[in-house]
Chains A and B, each alone.
Chain A
């Protein structure tokens, strides 16, 4: 099958979109969590010169890739309700942006 066939099912597009939302959410949650819980910050300090940004970003990338692989395996042959998946992805992306916003994570961290 050509990689760009018109009749391609939309499942793998939905998987890529949702995974990007999950990745953004992960970054937002980890950013807020490291501010709120000191032990999480220490745990994610994979490389001292960059501090816990190393752990937050590496974990985010792993979660993003794994979730992409999982959803792709489940949906690649299927036609899914792309509108619904996209709306959910936008919510996750929005939460991801929010979690990286300092006034928000400072508020949560107290």
Chain B
């Protein structure tokens, strides 16, 4: 096959689950932004709530799957210790550290990505919970609605950093 199973898993992790999360963010944010009593009727609020909470829980599930798959599948291959004399291109972490001009991609890039990414599912889950339980109140209570929007945005920020760094790492030293 033109993709090895390692490349396939990395793609599922990054371009399937990770990109799915980032896309769902936009929809959730826009739906939540529109939950305002002056803008929509009571029926409209309920329709918005249902849609927004479905999308928000989906987004949280994608965030969890992205970090769990990332940590327990490609990351294991990424950080494996090469035996003596091995071809380092099969061991991305060691490959990057062996090249002074690329070492930053591990010591800054992967070190930040693997940690900051895990903030995304916590924040996305809190946002999904707020939306699914409190949307009608959010229509009146701007503090609550803004909290939901902020949690969503922070979850997105954490995932965007992780995704961007993942793309750079895959370009310089792909898992394969």
Count residues on chain A whose CB falls below 8 Å from chain B CBs: 37
Assess whether A100 is in contact with B119, with CB atoms less than 8 Å apart.
yes
Partner of B140, one of A6, A23, A60, A97: A6
- Alpha-carbon distance between A17 and B122 when the two chains are bound, in angstroms: 10
Contact string, B135-156, partner A, CB cutoff 8 A, digits 1/0? 1110011011001001100100
- Write out the residue numbers on chain B whose beta carbons fall within 8 Å of the beta carbon of A54: 71
Assess whether A97 is in contact with B116, with CB atoms less than 8 Å apart.
yes
Q: Main secondary structure on chain B at its contact with chain A?
A: helix
- Alpha-carbon distance between A83 and B125 when the two chains are bound, in angstroms: 20
Q: How large is the interface on B (under 10, 10 to 19, 20 to 34, 35 or more residues)?
A: 35 or more
Assess whether B71 is in contact with A53, with CB atoms less than 8 Å apart.
yes
- Alpha-carbon distance between A63 and B92 when the two chains are bound, in angstroms: 32
Assess whether B144 is in contact with A6, with CB atoms less than 8 Å apart.
no
How far is the CB of A15 from the nearest CB of chain B, in Å? 9
- Write out the residue numbers on chain B whose beta carbons fall within 8 Å of the beta carbon of A50: 71-72, 75-76, 79
Binding site for A on B (CB under 8 A): 49, 67, 71-72, 75-76, 79-80, 107-108, 111-112, 114-116, 118-119, 122-123, 125-126, 129-130, 132-137, 140-141, 143-144, 147, 150-151, 154, 158
